[in-house]
Structure formats: structure tokens, C-alpha cells
């Protein structure tokens, strides 16, 4: 994590808005877990709010509900095999950090660990549970963000189902006078 | 639209889960509108539920709230300039279908028009408004889906903010015994 730097909260939307698979980390009673997730979205710029659906069948659901804290870690294509592997075993029976050789690092605000190998890490707290019972839908606030400034063109992966991922391998820049689509 | 075919609702998640920019179309009192959107997510497989945030400053917000219907159209990189252009003017003053030479096509279930040039079209109805007042957050049900079977590798675009888009230009397939990440 020595190479990671503080990342402005107002720019967090640019990390999650393109829809990368992320790894959600949680910790409870000394045991941590890692879960891949694609069902997430931005809901507000500042403070950054992130909505996400986590099945109540998942070990992470109970961890998040009990602790109210997690880290959203953004992996790149180099970690793709580990991302899939993390999705195919349960944290109830396996320590995924050890099994998949991921490095936990202490965060600044929440107790859940950051994954050192991911190029960005967003420390989050649950701020709204109104739709948890009906849709397993949590609203998180990003309270601290970290990024690896050495990764200029992180190739994020975008899940299409059944083990198929789009890889973001180039960017285009189009003239846009606004920071987002407004009043349209 | 002659080339479009019916698309199974159970596979809709694979279109939206990777986080493409989409174009939301609405119609009210004979006037239609087009709005680019990146703040959306899957919430359920079947029937497919999609959560989305649409600013209450946007013309589309009022259109959607009043009619309860829209179409989510998925463009590819060939339409990128039009996508940005649609985001930088308001449907209050401009007919975007005419201005940007987009072709409206009647849907099968909802009144909002499909955009012929987009490779996939999802007809949607609003099914939950509980978080509209606080977060501008609508939950939509996809009631009918269409796809262009001729586009084998649609290069979707993924917004990172300020006119920068990731382009999905290759896919990888990793062994995964499950259709999604479960119980992790």
C-alpha cells in the first residue's frame, strides 16, 4: 500500500460508474471475507453514495448487515482468475485472503481490510437500509478512497454473466462541456 | 428494427451488469425524449429489475414520474458522439430524435419509443418509487427486451466522467461453474 495515495471523494464516481466488477471485503469477529460484486451503482457525487445488491444467501450479506462497514476494492484484468475464484467458494468455509494469496491492509476509517493488489479501494459505511428487506439493497457512503497512481490505464473487467467479462482496453475522450449529463 | 429479435428476459442482466452508458427514452403527450444514463444497476434476474438514479433536474425525471414507462436503449461506440450530444441539451427545448437523427420505433408493451440504432432495447415500467423523493431512485421492471443478433461483439461505452469513456473491446471467458457469484 506504500504506493497508494489518497483519492478525492468527488472523483470516486469515475471509478464505479463504468460498471467494473469489484471485490467487497468485510470483517467480523476477527474473520474477514472477500466477495465479487457487479450489482452496484453510483447514487450521489458528494458525499459519494453507492447502491448495491448483495444476496441474502451470501456470507457477506450477514457480515455487512452486522457491521455496517465494508471496502469496495477495484481489481484489474490481472486479477480476473482470483475474482472468479472468490465468487465460487463461500467465506463460511474458506479464508479467501489466504487461499487466493490476497494481501489485507488496514484501512483508515473502517475495520474491513483493503486488498493491496486492487488498484483502488473505497472504504464504505452503510447509510440506508430501507430496501434491504425487500431487495437486499444497501446504500453505502464512501468515507475514504485510495488509488494506485502508478496505474495509468487500469484495465477493469465488466461481468456479462457465466464467466464472460468485457475488458476495458481503450478510452475515448469526447468534447463535453459538463461534468455529467444534466437536465436532459 | 426488422433485424431485431426478441431477447430472453432471463439474460437481460448480461446487458446491463457490465455498466454501459444507456439512452433512456420517454414519451408524454406526444413528445418524446432521449437521455444518456450511467447510474443504473441490476437488482433481480427474473423478472429483471433495474435500479436507476435520474436527477430531478432532468426533463426525463418528470416524464418518467408522470408516465411510469421508459425504454433503456444500449448504444455502441459508433453512437458515442450522439450519446454525448444527447446529454448536453435538454429535451425541454430540443427534439433529440430529429436533431441527432435517431430513429424512433414503436415498442410492444410501453408507449416510449425504442431507438433503432441501439443494439439492444429494454421496455420498462416503474415498479417501486419508495426512494424517488430522497435519492431520485427508481426501480424499473424490464417487461420486454429486443436485441440485434447481427452484432456479435457490441463495443459498449462506459462513462468515467467529463467526456471520457472506456470502450469494451475484448472479452475473456473464465471457467465458472455458476451463473453468478453465489453465497460468497
Least CB–CB distance from B17: residue in A89, A159, A171: A159
Residue with the larger pLDDT of the pair B2 and A95: A95
Q: Are B168 and A167 in contact (CB under 8 A)?
A: yes
Between CA A55 and CA A39 the distance in angstroms is: 10
- pLDDT given for residue A163 in this prediction: 87
pLDDT per residue of chain B (184 residues) written in tens, 0 to 9: 668 999 999 999 999 999 999 999 999 999 999 999 999 999 999 999 999 999 999 999 999 999 999 999 999 999 999 999 999 999 999 999 999 999 999 999 999 999 999 999 999 999 999 999 999 999 999 999 999 999 888 999 999 998 899 998 889 999 865 545 556 7
- Residues from chain B that touch A11, judged by Cβ atoms under 8 A, are 161
Contact between A59 and B180 using a beta-carbon 8 Å cutoff: no
Lowest mean pLDDT among A114-118, A173-177, B99-103: A173-177
Domain residue ranges of chain B, discontinuous segments joined by +:
5-167
Tens of pLDDT, residue by residue over A48-74, are 999 999 999 999 999 999 999 999 999
Contact between B171 and A183 using a beta-carbon 8 Å cutoff: no
How many residues appear in chain B?
184
Q: Are A59 and A90 in contact (CB under 8 A)?
A: yes
- pLDDT given for residue A1 in this prediction: 63
- pLDDT given for residue A140 in this prediction: 98
CATH level 2 (architecture), domain A5-167: Roll (2.30)
Contact between B163 and A173 using a beta-carbon 8 Å cutoff: yes
Tens of pLDDT, residue by residue over A12-23, are 999 999 999 999
Q: How confident is the model at residue A7 (pLDDT cuts 50, 70, 90)?
A: very high
Q: What is the pTM of this model?
A: 0.95
User: With helix as H, strand as E and coil as C, how does A105-143 read?
Assistant: ECCCCCCCCEECCCCEEEEEEEEECCCHHHHCEEEEEEE
- pLDDT given for residue B179 in this prediction: 47
Query: If we measure between CA atoms, which residue out of A120, A93, A38, A125 comes closest to residue B184?
Result: A93
Contact between B175 and A84 using a beta-carbon 8 Å cutoff: yes
- Residues from chain A that touch B151, judged by Cβ atoms under 8 A, are none
Q: How far is A130 from chain B (nearest CA, A)?
A: 9
- pLDDT given for residue B101 in this prediction: 97
Grid-cell match 481503450, residue found: A170
- pLDDT given for residue A152 in this prediction: 85
The residue-averaged pLDDT of A142-151 equals: 94
Q: Is the peptide bond before A47 cis (omega within 30 degrees of 0)?
A: yes
- pLDDT given for residue A179 in this prediction: 47
- Residues from chain B that touch A166, judged by Cβ atoms under 8 A, are 18, 156, 168, 170-171
Q: Are B102 and B145 in contact (CB under 8 A)?
A: no
Between CA A137 and CA B43 the distance in angstroms is: 8
The residue-averaged pLDDT of A86-103 equals: 95
> ipTM of this model?
0.94
The residue-averaged pLDDT of A156-178 equals: 87
Least CB–CB distance from A87: residue in B51, B167, B181: B181
C-alpha cell recorded at residue A20: 467494473
- B88 bridge partner residues: none
The residue-averaged pLDDT of A139-164 equals: 93
- Residues from chain B that touch A88, judged by Cβ atoms under 8 A, are 176-178, 181, 184
- Strands (E) in chain A, as ranges, are 5-6, 22-28, 31-37, 40-44, 49-53, 69-74, 104-105, 114-115, 120-128, 137-147, 157-161, 164-173
Contact between B183 and A81 using a beta-carbon 8 Å cutoff: no
Residue A93's contacts (CB-CB under 8 Å, 6 or more residues apart) are none
Burial A5-24 (b: 16+ CB within 10 A, else e): eebebebbbbbbbbbbbbbb
Contact between A158 and B35 using a beta-carbon 8 Å cutoff: no
Q: How far is A115 from chain B (nearest CA, A)?
A: 16
Between CA A33 and CA A10 the distance in angstroms is: 28
The chain-wide mean pLDDT, for chain A, equals 93
Amino acid at each position: 500500500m506504500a504506493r497508494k495515495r489518497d483519492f478525492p471523494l468527488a472523483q470516486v464516481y469515475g471509478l464505479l460508474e463504468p460498471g467494473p466488477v469489484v471485490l467487497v471485503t468485510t470483517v467480523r469477529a476477527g474473520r474477514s471475507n472477500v466477495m465479487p460484486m457487479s450489482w452496484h451503482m453510483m447514487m450521489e457525487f458528494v458525499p459519494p453514495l453507492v447502491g448495491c445488491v448483495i444476496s441474502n444467501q451470501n456470507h457477506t450479506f450477514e457480515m455487512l448487515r452486522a457491521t455496517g462497514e465494508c471496502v469496495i476494492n477495484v481489481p484489474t484484468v490481472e486479477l480476473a482468475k482470483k475474482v472468479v475464484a472468490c465468487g465460487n467458494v463461500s467465506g463460511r468455509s474458506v479464508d479467501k485472503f489466504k487461499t487466493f494469496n490476497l494481501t489485507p491492509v488496514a484501512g483508515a476509517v473502517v475495520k474491513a481490510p483493503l486488498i493491496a493488489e486492487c488498484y483502488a479501494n473505497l472504504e464504505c459505511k452503510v447509510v440506508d437500509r430501507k430496501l434491504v428487506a425487500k431487495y437486499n439493497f444497501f446504500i453505502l457512503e464512501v468515507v475514504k478512497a485510495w488509488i494506485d497512481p502508478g496505474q495509468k490505464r487500469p484495465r477493469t473487467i465488466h461481468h456479462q454473466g457465466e464467466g464472460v467479462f468485457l475488458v476495458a482496453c481503450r478510452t475515448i475522450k469526447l468534447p463535453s462541456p459538463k461534468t455529467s449529463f444534466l437536465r436532459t
